[in-house]
């Protein structure tokens, strides 16, 4: 397969997660992604461990699992952009790039002469993607924004976790940095749509992505629940605000998920469980009725599900088309035969460790698999290659930059 973005070059000046996630997605789709990192330290997440990768002899390396999760497919170039020589290298790279991704504070790169307006003069077709916590405008635009804070301010934590009056109740963040991940994905969509627009106009643009905007947008049905009703949704544990039964239940040996999405599934669910009478009860006959009477129905369901082991229930419900399944930890998830079949776990060649484990991109082109051609890079692994080949710097020029601490 010819990679969809094999004609695209990305200058990734971001760190942590949202920007790198966008860069990795573009790299998976075939773009050449040049990651700019600080000399010596690199991306902050290289040190966010344990766990850390170990080399062929079992010695711990300087690269954390966190860094490895978001930087596949990139070329690492070390560059001190606080020095004029480093700024000039960025300008030269931007001049031959299609997309630039950055997540500095508002105005951070402008102070170095590397803001959108300055680089637009060098490359009018550049798509300049800025990622911040709160956006380029507004009363909070100058504040730093991290995923945990944004999950709280954007509403995620008000609807995640057990009810306040139950054991373990209270606000909870989602178990991964979802505001960052979703912002990375929205940034990818924005960059690709800007590329399509550039084909019509020949001009690039400045993309303004804010974690807070993305988080509020991603509350989806819960946001509309509030906007339509005027009542802010509350934490409900594993229950669903609009569908019943749709939550976790204890079987005889472990918890299972039951996700009844319509009235027909409910009939099959209770009939398979030997409680067909519940489908005929007007309190439970429709989803609207079940939502109104959830406090009555849920204990009844919990009582009969406790009578048999999880595997029996799952097999029985799957036979009649009722969505049901186990609650896996990640070890169990990667062992699931469907996940194994789909190849979500993979290994890529690595210069220090031999191989490094990775999670495959979920984007699939039927009969045309993505080509994962490069593992997450070691710090500065491609500095000489990129500056030498792309910018045609000779050994003497590279040595001069290195001696000055620029690369």
β-bridge partners, 322? none
Torsion angles phi and psi, residue 14, rounded to 5: -100, 165
Other residues' Cβ atoms within 10 Å of the Cβ of residue 327: 13
Q: Which stretches does DSSP call E strand in 260-353?
A: 324-326, 345-350
Is residue 12 annotated as a catalytic residue, yes or no? no
Distance separating alpha carbons of residues 93 and 111, to the nearest angstrom = 18
| Cβ atoms of residues 80 and 38 within 8 Å | yes
Write the burial class of residue 62 (CB in 10 Å: 0-12 exposed, 13-18 middle, 19+ buried): middle
Q: For residues 407 and 405, give the distance between their C-alpha atoms in angstroms, rounded to a whole number.
A: 6
Could you give the 3-state DSSP secondary structure of residue 228? Answer: helix
Which secondary-structure segment (H or E) carries 153?
helix 147-153
Q: Is the peptide bond before 249 cis (omega within 30 degrees of 0)?
A: no
Active-site residue (options: 180, 213, 263, 347): 180
Alpha-carbon span 376 to 67, nearest angstrom? 8
Enzyme catalytic residues: 180
């Amino acid at each position: 397969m010819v990679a969809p973005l094999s004609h695209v070059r990305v200058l990734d000046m971001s760190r942590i997660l949202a920007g790198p996630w966008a860069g990795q997605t573009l790299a998976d789709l075939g773009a050449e992604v040049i990651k700019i990192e600080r000399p010596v330290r690199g991306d902050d997440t290289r040190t966010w461990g344990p766990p850390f990768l170990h080399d062929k002899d079992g010695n711990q390396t300087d690269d954390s699992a966190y860094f490895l999760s978001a930087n596949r497919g990139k070329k690492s170039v070390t560059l001190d952009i606080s020095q004029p020589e480093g700024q000039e290298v960025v300008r030269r790279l931007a001049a031959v790039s299609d997309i630039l991704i950055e997540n500095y504070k508002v105005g951070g790169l402008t102070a170095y002469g590397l803001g959108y307006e300055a680089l637009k003069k060098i490359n009018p077709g550049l798509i300049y993607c800025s990622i911040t916590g709160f956006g380029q405008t507004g009363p909070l635009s100058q504040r730093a924004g991290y995923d945990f804070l944004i999950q709280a301010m954007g509403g995620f934590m008000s609807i995640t976790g057990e009810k306040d009056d139950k054991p373990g109740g209270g606000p909870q963040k989602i178990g991964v940095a979802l505001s960052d991940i979703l912002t990375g994905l929205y940034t990818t969509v924005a960059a690709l749509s800007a590329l399509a627009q550039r084909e019509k106009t020949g001009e690039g643009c400045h993309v303004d992505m804010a974690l807070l905007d993305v988080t509020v947008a991603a509350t989806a049905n819960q946001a509309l629940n509030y906007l339509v009703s005027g009542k802010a949704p509350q934490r409900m544990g594993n229950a669903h605000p609009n569908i019943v039964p749709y939550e976790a239940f204890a079987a005889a040996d472990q918890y299972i998920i039951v996700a009844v999405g319509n009235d027909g599934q409910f009939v099959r669910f209770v009939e398979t469980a030997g409680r067909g009478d519940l489908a005929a009860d007007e309190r439970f006959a429709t989803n609207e009725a079940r939502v109104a009477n959830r406090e009555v129905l849920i204990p009844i369901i919990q009582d009969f599900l406790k009578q048999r082991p999880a595997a029996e229930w799952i097999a029985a419900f799957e036979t009649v088309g009722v969505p049901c399944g186990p609650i896996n930890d990640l070890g169990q998830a990667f062992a699931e035969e469907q996940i194994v079949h789909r190849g979500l776990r993979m290994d890529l060649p690595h210069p220090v460790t031999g191989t490094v484990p990775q999670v495959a991109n979920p984007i699939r082109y039927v009969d045309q698999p993505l080509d994962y051609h490069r593992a997450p890079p070691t710090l500065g692994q491609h500095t000489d290659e990129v500056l030498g080949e792309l910018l045609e710097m000779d050994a003497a020029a590279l040595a001069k930059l290195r001696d000055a601490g620029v690369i």
